[in-house]
Chain A
Amino acid sequence: MMSFFSLPEYLQYTVVFFCLVTLVVNIYSVVSCVIFEAKKRKLNLNLLLAAFTSVLFYLFASVNFVYRKSIKGQSLLLDIFSEYGWAFMALLALLSVLSVLSLYLVEKWKREHITPASIKEGIDRLPAGLCYHNEKGVPKLINHRMDGLCRRITGEPLFDGNELWRRLTKGEVLPGNRVEKWGENPIITLSDGSTVSFTKIEREIGGKKLYEIRATDITKQYALNLELQRNNNELRSLNTRLQEYGENVYDITREREVLTAKVNIHDMLGKALLVTKRFIESGDEGITKEELIDMWKGTLYLFEGGFKESSEDGSLDELYDAAKLMGISLNVKGQIPSDNRLLRFIMSGARESLTNAVHHAKATELTVTLYYEYSFFVIEYTDDGSGPSKPVSEGGGLSSLRQSVESEGGIMETEIFPQFVLRLKIPSKEVKYV
């Protein structure tokens, strides 16, 4: 059997050194397991390997030292190593193999798992600001960006997540920063011109309730959004002008109609004069006396009434005439608006009320009351007839009136007691308080 002491001296030292290297590997594995929070089983295995290697290193180092120095009283240790040195070396070889294998497994595990340190390092590199805090506001994890933002906005380091959020949502920022939007989703433009949007989300992590405050740089998006808003405003104003132009087009078309009518009247008169002249001169121009008389009837009709080039819009004359025709006395209270849109609603409501007054209520008088109530122009119709005994079922007329009122953002109400009331509330540009 080979004795440890039969080995050359440099090999004895090599064995001791080899033992030391194995011990270092074990210690590295143990430290890695502790730092990276490896499973307990893995840690224990490495601790065990380290313990065995330590003992072995102690034995090899001691034997070597005793043997070299020829220290008395240690003959037993020397005897054992003389006799079983090969067994210790075999054990060292086994421990070395196990240690290398364990180191490989630990390293592999490290590569496949994220540690808290990696997370911190990772979020520190994020362009967004992040802060996780508990219900009391105590920060659990903050990245550099968020801490920097907190200092620039509040002038203080981030010690309290709740306080930071309170200041953000209330718009309490240091001079130089500009609050673009406060409230639940605050947006702040910093003194360097960059715009940051903040959000807060409640999360449950590892069974604990945490709050995440996130800061996102939206400088580009915000500038684009402002530009989009400007463009939209411009478009809206363009569309409004287009709608106004649409109103004028009716006038243009009407003017064209009037012009055509003028041409026709001119032609009628010219034709009547020409035909009459020829009729008088020759006595027969392919037209009978009766036809000639009819032709002049029409022409004279135009002269009798006088020519009117335009009609006056905006009067309720026809409403009065219609009511008179129906045998109803119309009573209008309040100031008649100049807005044609409101006038049209007055007429539409009156049509339904007149029909109801005659057919159902047997009324003789219809009162239309006009007044402003806050931002509404109110048109109220009441008659002196017998009110309905049961709720009014809205037929075609009333339901289309309701549709028309509601499409303008208005309200239509009906009352049946003590008398029937139809009330239209139309949003008005004028705001009057009563």
Chain B
Amino acid sequence: MYNVMVVEDQAMPRQLFEAFIAMSDKYTLVHSIKNADMADIYCEKSEIDLILMDVCTELNSNGLDAAQRIKQKYPDIKIIIVTSMPEFSYLERAKKIGVDSFWYKEVSEEPILSLMDRTMAGESIYPDKTPDVTFGLIKSSALTEKELIILRELTNGDTNAEIAEKLDMSQYTVRDYIQIIMEKTGFRTRTELAVRARASGIVIADKK
């Protein structure tokens, strides 16, 4: 039997994960919490083998930050990131941290229990790419990494000058990139672009 902790702020998805665990003979639910910031504390005194960790949890705590702390302190604990956000940087960051597997809540075809089994068997399972969502006239995959990075800053409500300073580039380059994204997507204003980008979830501004 493996001890599992669920870190998910939404009650119903959390209950669903708990139900899946209850259905299996291989797993026991030891903790089910809403705030990723508390996750490593729970690992301190409990024997935990596997964590199902959402990225955006209660009080804007970040599951990836928590996963990083846990992997540093308890590298043997397996972690599966579960998210519905198609933000492209999450996949990369999860790999970099050493997260064992990654599961998209809405689009992953493999049942979560099967993914948990394979992860506990030592496999590292990652989707090939982020879910492709429609974004204006194009699919999100048509945007380059650089365009997505600038789009993320744009959704944060930053001006061109602020984006340029953050990303160490000129204001004119930022302006040109935004213009190119608007031409690709067909959105007419930067506000519309930012709002649609936010709503689609292809970029999630880092909230510190």
- Taking the closest CB of chain B, its distance from the CB of A109, in whole angstroms, is 52
- A302, CB-defined interface residue at 8 Å: yes
In the complex, A393 has a CB within 8 A of chain B: no
Interface residues of A in 234-259 (CB under 8 A from B): 235, 238-240, 242-243, 245-246, 249-250, 252-254, 256-258
- A340-B201 Cα distance, complex, nearest whole Å: 21
Give chain B residues whose Cβ lies under 8 Å from the Cβ of A295. Answer: 23
The segment from A144-152, A213-221, A348-356 that touches chain B is: A348-356
CA–CA, A265 and B18, complex, Å = 12
Are A319 and B38 in contact (CB-based, < 8 A)? yes
A268 within 8 A of B: yes
The A contact surface, by secondary structure, is: helix
Q: A301-B22, A318-B35, A348-B37 are in contact. Are A309 and B11 (CB under 8 A)?
A: yes
Which of B33, B46, B106 gathers the greatest number of chain A CB atoms within 10 Å?
A: B106
Residue A389 lies at the interface, judged by CB distance under 8 Å to chain B: no
- Answer yes or no: A307 CB below 8 A from chain B CBs: yes
With an 8 A cutoff between CB atoms, is B195 at the interface? yes
Restricting to B35-62, which residues have a CB under 8 Å from any CB of A? 35, 37-38, 40-42, 44-46, 56, 58-61
| Whole-angstrom CA separation of A294 from B45 in the bound complex | 29
Interface residues of A in 295-354 (CB under 8 A from B): 295, 297-299, 301-302, 305, 307-311, 313-314, 318-319, 321-322, 325-327, 340-341, 343-344, 347-348, 351, 354
Knowing A253-B201, A265-B12 are in contact, say whether A301-B84 is a contact too (CB < 8 A): no
A321 to B84, CA, bound (A): 28
- Chain A positions 266-313 with a Cβ under 8 Å from a chain B Cβ: 268, 294-295, 297-299, 301-302, 305, 307-311, 313
B196 → A minimal CB distance (Å):
11
| Contact indicator A322/B61 (Cβ below 8 Å) | no
Closest to A242 in B: B157
Q: Closest Cβ of chain B: how far from A403's Cβ, in Å?
A: 9
Query: Could you say which of A250, A309, A322, A408 has the most chain B C-beta atoms within 10 Å of its C-beta?
Result: A322
Query: Within 8 Å CB of B159, what residues of A?
Result: 235, 239
Pair A396/B72 contact, Cβ less than 8 Å: yes
**Cα distance A245–B205 when bound, in Å?**
12
Which residues from chain B contact A262 at a C-beta distance below 8 Å? 12
- Checking A253, A343, A358 against B59 with a beta-carbon cut-off of 8 angstroms, the contacting residue is A343
Task: Give every chain A residue within 8 A of B59 (Cβ-Cβ).
Answer: 313-314, 340, 343-344, 347
Distance (whole angstroms) from the CB of A398 to the closest CB of chain B: 12
Number of residue pairs spanning A and B whose beta carbons lie under 8 angstroms apart:
151
Q: Scoring B residues 99 to 130 as 1 if CB is less than 8 Å from chain A, else 0, what string do you get?
A: 00000011000000000000000000000000
A134 CB within 8 Å of chain B: no
Write 12 A-B pairs (CB below 8 A) sorted by A numbering. A239-B157, A242-B191, A243-B156, A294-B23, A298-B20, A301-B22, A307-B15, A325-B42, A344-B61, A347-B37, A347-B59, A348-B37
Binding site for B on A (CB under 8 A): 235, 238-240, 242-243, 245-246, 249-250, 252-254, 256-258, 260-262, 264-265, 268, 294-295, 297-299, 301-302, 305, 307-311, 313-314, 318-319, 321-322, 325-327, 340-341, 343-344, 347-348, 351, 354-355, 358, 396-397, 404, 407-408
Q: Which residues of B contact A (CB under 8 A)?
A: 9-16, 18-20, 22-25, 33-35, 37-38, 40-42, 44-46, 56, 58-61, 69, 72, 84-85, 105-106, 155-159, 191, 194-195, 198-199, 201, 205, 207-208
Going nearest first, the 6 A-B pairs with the smallest beta carbon separation are: A298-B23, A239-B157, A308-B11, A301-B22, A344-B59, A261-B12
Excluding A295-B23, A309-B11, 8 further A-B contacts by CB distance (< 8 Å) are A240-B157, A254-B10, A262-B12, A308-B11, A308-B15, A311-B10, A344-B61, A397-B69
